[in-house]
Structure 1
Amino acid sequence: MPPKSGTVVCDGEKCVIGNYKPTKDGTAHERLAKAAGMDKPKVAGSIKPDGRVALRSESINRTNGLGCDAAGTKLGQWAEMKMALGDVEGVKEYKRKSRRSRT
């Protein structure tokens, strides 16, 4: 079962959650996307321990033309809904489903 709070990246269809911190190897969002095998993350944010959703990510959102904060954008609204509903997958689940869909 995926954690209830943490770093989140979404590919436009699914969202993945994990507990990642920034390191010299990349931001928390970049590291999560890489761990999940997500080639082209579209929007990123986090679910806070109290359930609040934040859609801030310099590395993912700004790269996709959403600005650092994707709140108020169409993609941001979609991601916020997914996160608020808990419709997120853990890294292992996302990778397993991604492999199946490619075969």
Structure 2
Amino acid sequence: MIVTSSSVNQRSGPSTNNAVMGQLSEGTRVRRLNERNGWTQISSELGTGWMSSRYLQPQRSRNANAESVRASLPSQCGLLCPKIDQSRSLPASGQSGHQCKS
């Protein structure tokens, strides 16, 4: 899981009534342990605690991110083209002439 806001409280329990253990910044990776009523129990550098689920999102894998980038490129995109004929040798960087599959 990834923290999605600039500074989010990690608490000792699943409520704003529970003590703040510390704050985690946007982009911090945490491990989800449990969920309850809009709160997620996490393991972080602060230890085991709770954070409002609205400030967390699943972490995307590197492969999923690469596939997303490839899918957004135009068909004549060069070396990252998802339609490129992988059986053909490709020209050196900066040269044109490769054939994308249709």
Kindly name which structure, 1 or 2, has the bigger radius of gyration based on alpha carbons: 2
Same topology, TM > 0.5: no
TM (norm. structure 2) is: 0.24
> Hey, which of these two has a bigger chunk of strand by percent?
2
> Hey, which of these two has a bigger chunk of helix by percent?
1
